[in-house]
Amino acid sequence: MKKSGELQNSQQAASKKITRQKVLLGLVGVFVVLLAVLPLFASGFWMRTLTLLFLLAAMAEGWNFIGGYTGYAAFGNVAFFGIGAYGTALSMLRLHFPFFLALLVGAAAAMLFAVLVGLPVLRLKGHYFAIATVALATGVGEVADFWTDFTGGAAGLTLPFFRPIQLSNYFFYYMAFVLVLFGLGLTYFIMKRKLGYSWLAIREDEDAAKMMGINTTWSKVVAFALSALMAGLAGGIYAYWNTFVLAEEVFKIEYTLQMILATVLGGPGTVFGPFIGAFIYYILITLLVFFLPVGQLHATILGLIIILVMVFTPQGVMDFLSGRKRLTLSALLENIRTHKV
């Protein structure tokens, strides 16, 4: 009797979860359609802002593979962005590749780097892994900055403009937009498959995952390489859009922080979390910088908001959107307790 009651309960919970998922999926669908037709109405300013936002969302989707699903706190993903940017730019300038081919070369270079670096570095765990990735990203940035013969060094690389120039805004808007959709599709595709389950298992308990037959090294390297793919593509698009590549610009550690923040704000380890989180991050930043008369305090206030979000919803807003938790005071307090604040 008790068993069938429990069964019913869990079935009810499951069906409720499914309807909620459908609603969420519908909302995201409407939103995506709106974004697809937006360039018909929007000004150049908004299109450029959204293009940047999409590039961030795409990188966050990539970070979500290694940081969100696999649970490895990668703090150097900007390296992939930078390598993608340099790879694309150098292929276009030195090899005279057309943009799309150059973009693929840039992304492939980022992935190759992720594999080579991932094999040793992904053996580290926790803080050690995080520190190693920071060091690597900084190191690659330095190489790009000082290897003047190859990368142009401090003078940077100047790329040709996209032509016809009046379509430039549209081209890059849709490039970035398609990249975001590709990221969503890729995430959904993987998480329905064994690879996705292996990431979750590694995140939850790597020893148990190993013992259950998961080749953890391979799974982790793939996660790292796919996060490099997303960041590398974003970097390549950014390079051509910006028509200028400079090491201290494309290897800025802020980009890593931004992708982590977007993922964490939205919901790490969820399909839509990084996408939603990128919007939340941009809305916060834009509000603070442009519309609040707080001067140089905006970074402080952003930091404060992030701390509050982390304390109250460590799983990001997806926790509430997906119905896993209800937005109630007790849920928030429970989150604080689990944080041992």
Footprint on this chain of other proteins (rule: CB under 8 A): 3-4, 6-7, 10-11, 13-14, 192-194, 196-198, 200-201, 203-205, 207-216, 269
Task: List the beta bridge partners of residue 157.
Answer: 245
Q: Which is nearer to other proteins, 51 or 216 (CB)?
A: 216
**Are 219 and 202 spatial neighbours (Cβ–Cβ below 8 Å)?**
yes
d(C-alpha 102, C-alpha 87), whole Å: 7
Angle at which helices 168-191 and 273-286 cross, to 10° = 140
How far, in Å, are 46, 187, 223, 281, 288 from residue 68 at the CA level?
Answer: 29, 11, 10, 17, 27
Identity of the residue, 205 or 248, whose beta carbon is nearer to other proteins in the bound complex: 205
The DSSP secondary structure of 146-179, one letter per residue, reads H-HHHH-GGG-EEPPPPSSGGGHHHHHHHHHHHH
Which residue, 163 or 326, has its beta carbon nearer to other proteins? 326
Which of residues 197 and 279 has its CB atom nearest to other proteins in the complex? Answer: 197
Q: How far is the CB of 220 from other proteins (least distance, A)?
A: 12
Please say which residue, 14 or 155, places its beta carbon nearer to other proteins. 14
Q: 270: which DSSP letter?
A: S
Distance CA 198, CA 202 (A): 6
Backbone angles phi, psi at 42, to 5 degrees: -75, 155
Q: Tell me how far, at minimum, the Cβ of 337 lies from other proteins, in Å.
A: 14
- Minimum distance from residue 244 beta carbon to other proteins (Å): 43
- Say which residue the tokens 């969100």 belong to: 68
Q: By C-alpha distance, which of 299, 233, 205, 308 is closest to 264?
A: 308
CB-nearer residue toward other proteins: 140 or 317: 317
Nearest-approach distance from CB 204 to other proteins, in angstroms: 4
Minimum Å gap between C-beta 98 and other proteins is: 38
Closest CB 205 distance from other proteins, rounded Å = 4
Q: Which is nearer to other proteins, 195 or 245 (CB)?
A: 195
The continuous run of DSSP H or E covering 244 comes out as: strand 244-245
Q: How far is the CB of 198 from other proteins (least distance, A)?
A: 7
Closest CA to 66 of 112, 136, 128, 129: 129
